[in-house]
Structure 1
């Protein structure tokens, strides 16, 4: 892979779009009775164009990046929205005499629908992750450890041009049945199932892609289980359409897995929104409805304890006429031959 210059990786709205975004934020602040926003370097701050790494303060009259937010917050402010990622010492250091409330109540609803340039940035992050998975097929897996292979994949992602690695997981054999497994010293052997997940940031925007492979040959009964995960993935994808409740994704995925007999092994988590954050709205279970421009990571999984598991994660955008996957990496089970 060839690294891309930093200037080519910057995702930002044009002047008119930035002005419209700021106007929408101020209108939401007014509706919520919030007199100022104080944001640390975070996805919320990047949403409003912060680049300096200081606090960003937004009021009805001022937008300022500063090391001293108390000096910018208006006197007499009654409610101030603070970044949900604010650290405790930062909160104590604000010295603001006002009721502090989460800024997310103002900003997260505005971040749900992505602009075309944002979708493009997420798509670039998807392409980088899929490129790593493609190169992974050429690596020698037999006899290597999970940790060693995870390191090799980290190097490949860095070379892709992504500015940040958010997570990278390699799980072999029975470890594929552990949702939060951290790559360790387990040796990868023929006959193992192999789970690989890559999540990176491009131009400030995040994406994750996860696939499952088999080493030399699939374990007994693995292909049957994996076919259920793929069927659940197709059902969940069809549920991503304008006007449909986000909970419909969970219902569609669950219906397929429950009907297969693997219901008690199904992952409770089937997806989440992605964008400036790797885990943001729309969320399943929050009475949300899909709208055009929402970007969702669909990730159905089955985990059979002490045996094997399979998780397939893809990023999809809800378009006017339905779901549009942002990647193209195949779902067919690939058998690694070395």
Structure 2
């Protein structure tokens, strides 16, 4: 962790050779170079992406990290050292970009070097993620005031997108509105389904504010809940509490999945529980730690906890919140608890 107040990314300047030199914090650059040496990687070539922003990238076409320099440039081949044998490239890079690099070296994913370093957030990063969560929650708060009766999923998704833009959202990563039987699908795309009284609604927004990502998902019902829906939703909330309690330093992230699964399995909804219970968030919307990995939680990790139950052809419920793992235990970065929200119009 860096000393309190250090930003981890400084200004970008242009040197006399016409190459923009990034000002990523010295501690971060040193950690990256140490990881590069351990992985036998001679240089990193990054395009604008979460990895690029992690190392202080600004406006350059590419960011190149070597043992001697960190530079933004339009010509990465001119910065990569001659004789480099292994070069880490951004996993988001397109095939055309890879061929256009003209680098004669073995190309490997840069994530092998950077992903472990991005797991643990600095205090200022956790604070930035918290601000992103607050912005997402404000949008869903405004959503409760909209007129839902008779509108389509697609129309309401459009209204939410406008609210996200007005909130200062820099990028809308994902936006879902599902009504009635469509809530029983894990990743529904908003369609022409009309929203009617008696429908359950799943509404989620995922976006980037201030460079950092957050997702929040909430469950609404229109006028009144469907039969048996409240009982199922109470199980999702219990699974959420169990997963939240498990997020402590020293606990393998797979224990979060186990805690969530035990609640859902014990309720009788086991075969309808979502296998995916969350993932890390930060500069990107989907990063480590992931429940399928053997990562051990440490203070500074941020995780989107999202237990869900999907009952085919009937309804589903999913709650998503961002949680920070701290030395004192889990810290929910948004609001809680989550009562079933009844929309009256």
| Same fold, judged at TM 0.5 (above) | yes
In the other structure, the counterpart of 1:164 is: 171
Match for residue 96 of structure 2?
A: 89
How many Å apart are 1:162 and its aligned residue?
Answer: 1.7
Determine the structure 1 residue equivalent to 2:295: 288
Kindly indicate whether the alpha-carbon contact (under 8 Å) linking 1:239 and 1:252 is maintained by their aligned counterparts in 2: yes
Confirm or deny: 8 A CA contact 1:232 1:252 kept in the other structure: yes
Q: Which residue of 2 aligns with 1:267?
A: 274
The answer to whether the 8 Å contact 2:24/2:56 transfers is no
CA distance in 2, matches of 1:333, 1:17: 44
Question: 1:12: Cα distance to partner?
Answer: 4.9
Alignment check: 8 A CA contact 2:321 2:334 kept: yes
- Listed one character per residue, the Cα deviations across residues 257-293 of structure 1 (whole Å, up to 9, x for unaligned) are 0000000000010010000110000011111000000
Please, what TM-score do these two structures have when normalized by structure 2?
0.93
My pick for the range that moved more, 184-193 or 116-125, is 116-125
**Structure 1: segments with no counterpart, 5+ residues:** 1-10
1:43 to 37, 50, 66: 50
Separation (CA, whole Å) in 1 of partners of 2:188 and 2:91: 27
Contact (CA 8 Å) 2:60, 2:74: kept in 1 or not?
Answer: no
Alpha-carbon contact 1:12-1:49 (below 8 Å) kept: no
TM-score, normalised to structure 1, is 0.95
Quote the Cα distance in structure 2 between the aligned partners of 1:256 and 1:110: 33
- Residue 114 of structure 1 aligns with which residue? 121
Match of 2:318 in 1: 311
| Residue of 8, 26, 36 corresponding to 1:13 | 8
Measure the CA separation in 1 of the matches of 2:223 and 2:8: 47
Q: Work out whether residues 130 and 329 of structure 1, in 8 Å CA contact, stay in contact via their aligned partners in 2.
A: no
- Segments of structure 2 that go 5 or more residues without pairing to the other structure are 1-5, 11-22
Within the candidate set 27, 31, 34, 2:34 is matched to 27
CA separation of 1:143 and 1:131: change in aligned 2, threshold 3 A: same
Q: Distance in 1 between matches of 2:46 and 2:302?
A: 23
Distance 1:80 1:210 in 2: 39
- Corresponding residue for 2:3? none
| Bigger shift: residues 70-79 or 15-24 | 15-24
Q: 4+ residue runs of structure 1 moved beyond 6 angstroms?
A: none
The superposition leaves residues 284-337 of structure 1 with CA deviations (integer Å, 9 ceiling, x where unpaired) of 111100000000000000000110000000000000010000001540001110
- Structure 2 counterpart of 1:196, from 188, 199, 203: 203
Residue from 98, 109, 133 that aligns with 2:140: 133
Alignment counterpart, residue 60 of structure 1, candidates 62, 67, 71 = 67
Structure-1 separation of matches of 2:238 and 2:54: 36
Cα RMSD, aligned residues only: 1.3
Return closer, same or farther for 1:118/1:55 CA change in 2, 3 Å cut-off.
same
CA contact (8 A) 1:59 1:73 kept: yes
